[in-house]
Amino acid sequence: MDTENRAQVTRAATIVMAAILVSRILGFVRERAIAEVFGRTAATDAFFAAFALPDLMYQLLVGGALSSAFIPVFTQYLAKDQEKEAWYVASIFLNATFLLLLALMILGVIFAPVLAPLVGVGFTGEHRELLILLMRVTFPAVFFTALAGLCMGVLHSYKIFLQPALGPIIYNLAQIIGAYVLGPIVGIMSMAVGTVLGALGNFSIQLPEVWRRGKGYYQRVLDFKHPGIRRMVELMLPAILGLSIAQVNVIVGQNLASTLEEGSIVALRLANRLINFPLGIFAMGISTAVFPTLAVLAAREETQEFTRTLSFGLRTVFFITIPSAVGMAVLRVPIVRLLFEAGEFGAADTAATAFALLFYVPGLFAQAALQVTTRGFYSLQDTKTPVKIGLFTVAINLLLSLVFLRGTALGAGGLALAFSLSSLVNAALAFAILSRRLPGLASGELLTTTVKAAAASACMGFAASGAASLLGSRLPSAGKAAEAAQTLGAIAVGVLVYLILAALLRMDEVRFLWGLLKAKLSSKRGAGQQG
């Protein structure tokens, strides 16, 4: 990866990761608010089940499906200095998508009773009626979420990352306010209202910059015969299926969890959110930053540099997510207790959530790899291969879920394990196919990074576990302050040990992270001087 591209990715990743960090922290505040105000109850299960469809669209569209079809084509026009033509194609795509989304929102509200079994097959009676009502209230969020995803695609094509990264922050804030302010008044319905308002805010913060870029270019036109729009549609349909695979697997697990004891959906949901913390900040941040560069390199047919950039993205996410997985495994109980145990969420709920988290851990680095490899396929304008692989792994996930539910006593843990194993299969197949297309991707550098990260992570795990035990014996036995000191202290020890070992092992990724830190500090100094 050349110096110019690395610097470009570094700057973009700094912005994206900082904003995602804030968003993920607020996401934890949101999950804690739900757990504290409503507890691990049937009503909370109903909301999370109803929330599955808007959440699917959020991950699918804001996470990049429509934009993954949009960016390669839109960027191709921009790279050729054809901005007017780029916006003509974009106008058609945006107009058609707007009308389609409006129709889907109306149909979703009308046919919510038909859709309800797809997200909560085990709900009956009043719980089913609550599920249907919550689905109808949250469906408008799908409309605004999809529009936010389209805006993100436009802005990322211009390598503008701030506004798209701020959108989820507003989204989470609206849900937090809904829980704490409206929750005591209208109950679980407050979360549905907060979801809709958050989706509207996500869209609204991006729209002005999109309008500024498109002013003078945007047209009220529908021209489906244009070759650019045909190419976008060809890419979009499999892209939607491809990026939704992981979320479909989550929904499968959630649906099956509705047949287990009350609160199983909540345990899986919270455990999955913990896994998504490093996944969202680092894997998504790095893959989002790398994607426009990959798209440009693919458009210019610079295959060698494309391969080096893709390899760099994989090495970086492995460097971060492998120790994250080990850390979450050894500190799962203290982490869950610190973040969620309060109010209606008790010790038994902590144990159930930590148990599910343990089985989600093995799939963390695989999901991280998929963030990068999927965008590699999309940059090459191949959206069909991820779909084929993904559909195969959906079948594996369903099969394993049924086997673990019927053949073991793992319960919700079995559903999490099935998800992890299917993610590993998905990542392995995607990497194998890309390696055949891109000689040099399966390089010694990538293997070396993986082995070194695994070795350093193992040592880190022992250190973090020992630190947690030591602090637990020396600190008071009760209170959030003691819990925070034990958990954060153990995490700090683990991070320090890992970074020292990584430096001793001369891992190149340490320099990249140091570059991110320096870029962040430089930006702060610059802002201070301007002020």
Domain residue extents for the chain: 3-442, 443-519
The predicted structure's pLDDT at residue 324: 92
CB 48 within 8 A of CB 236: no
| Residue 7 neighbours by CB distance under 10 Å | 12
Q: What is the mean pLDDT of the chain?
A: 82
Residue with tokens 């392995």: 428
The predicted structure's pLDDT at residue 242: 63
Query: pLDDT (tens digit, 9 = 90+) per residue, 445-467?
Result: 888 888 999 999 999 999 999 99
Q: How many CA atoms lie within 13 A of 169 on its CB side?
A: 15
The predicted structure's pLDDT at residue 375: 85
CB 516 within 8 A of CB 14: yes
List, for the chain, all residue ranges whose pLDDT scores fall below the cut of 70. Answer: 1-17, 54-68, 239-247, 250, 476-478, 511-531
The predicted structure's pLDDT at residue 410: 87
Buried b (16+ CB within 10 A) or exposed e, 256-280: bbbebeebbbbbbbbbbbbbbbbbb
Q: Measured in whole angstroms, how far is the alpha carbon of residue 520 from the centre of its chain?
A: 23
User: In angstroms, rounded to a whole number, what is the distance separating the alpha carbons of residues 189 and 46?
Assistant: 10
The residues pairing with 342 across neighbouring beta strands, listed in sequence order, are 345
Query: pLDDT (tens digit, 9 = 90+) per residue, 121-148?
Result: 777 788 889 989 998 998 888 888 888 8
pTM beyond 0.75, yes or no: no
The predicted structure's pLDDT at residue 456: 94
Query: pLDDT (tens digit, 9 = 90+) per residue, 25-59?
Result: 888 788 888 888 887 778 888 888 887 776 666 56
User: In angstroms, rounded to a whole number, what is the distance separating the alpha carbons of residues 288 and 314?
Assistant: 13
The predicted structure's pLDDT at residue 530: 43
CB 373 within 8 A of CB 423: no
CA 73, 162, 58, 417 dihedral sign is positive
Structure tokens that stand for 92 in this block: 């058609």
CB 519 within 8 A of CB 9: no
The predicted structure's pLDDT at residue 529: 46
CB 426 within 8 A of CB 394: no
Q: Measured in whole angstroms, how far is the alpha carbon of residue 147 from the centre of its chain?
A: 18
The predicted structure's pLDDT at residue 283: 77
